[in-house]
Copies of this chain bind each other. A is one copy, B any other.
């Protein structure tokens, strides 16, 4: 039976055009873009084309504002550590939120050991930061505000434009981790008033292990990868040109197909939200009804373990996840879900359903029907469920 992939947040399939471009790049076997002979110039041109395509996707003023990285995690580490170290003379205070990705949280934790102080803001029950809390948290020592654009576990989108405006007015660098937004929803760095933006290629159907960092001209930031003069002196290391070419094609397609994709994804989302109550009861939707990604729904199904549901669905050839794949292997409940005010048991019963342009209405129907069966089976053997429902 065909596997229904509803775990797009862990990895999106490659677009056919991306596959084709990457295969051609492998067959062509480009030289090093920094080499000054003919073969190097061809490679440099391919790199420049991909950079222009990515710059266009996010509304950057110049392709020079784009640094290619090895993915969202490198971009986040580069942003946080690079801004903190480059601006240490101005101050050592950073404002962030409680629901950031581990790449941001753990980078900030490293800095705490080096004399930086943090203010980490809570979110309301819909998972959103209050922009006025950001304004209140900024002091004369604040050098950076880092608040993500959308959360990879709940799909909720933050009021980033308002936060950006506050930072611009207060002359504080604003970084947003937009890994799950760029290429998925309309995203313009100028509207966001963002100085530094992390993003990755796979959320818009490009290859895994490739990402980018937007750095607005004039922003003080150090490299994370010190070394050669690649990427306008901001990131050493010979570029992963095969992956970058794939990302460039994916960015171009994301820009031109955005509206059409959004219509498709919103259709699947509506069908999912309509279908769920026909098959299960006693669940919580953690995703904001309005300010959220179109391709992800977080559901906490009460009285059961999300991991059991995931494994039983896997037996039926349906892939979902319980939380970010990056946190697999960690046994603790998700910090994001706890921040929303969920109980530990509801957090443990959470499923992340993430779909893509390759999913169909039939996929959604098969999922909700299977989920209904699985939840019934698990609740039938749940002592907690029996106790509360007897």
Residues on A facing B (Cβ under 8 Å): 3, 5, 7, 10-11, 13-14, 19, 22-23, 26-27, 29-32, 34-40, 43, 69-74, 76-77, 85, 101-103, 106-107, 109-110, 114, 202, 207-210, 222, 224-230, 236-243, 307, 310-311, 314, 317, 319-321, 324-330
Contact = CB atoms under 8 A, between A and B. Distances in A.
A209 B243 contact: yes
Given A5-B39, A34-B326, A225-B74, A240 B240 contact: yes
Contacts of A319: 31, 35, 37-40
Nearest to A102: B227
A164 to B, nearest CB: 24
Contacts of A237: 70-74, 103, 209
A106 B222 CA distance: 12
A11 B31 contact: yes
A222 to B, nearest CB: 7
Given A32-B10, A319-B37, A70 B229 contact: no
A81 to B, nearest CB: 9
A37 B6 CA distance: 11
Question: How many copies of this protein are present in the complex?
Answer: 2
Contact of A14 (B29, B72, B77): B29
A304 to B, nearest CB: 17
A214 B74 CA distance: 19
Contacts of A109: 226
7 contacts: A35-B328, A71-B238, A73-B226, A77-B225, A103-B226, A208-B240, A238-B326
B73 A236 contact: yes
B227 A37 contact: no
A35 B327 CA distance: 10
Contact of A32 (B32, B37, B208, B310): B208
B329 A34 contact: yes
A46 B76 CA distance: 27
A110 B240 contact: no
Given A35-B7, A236-B326, A238-B202, A225 B73 contact: yes
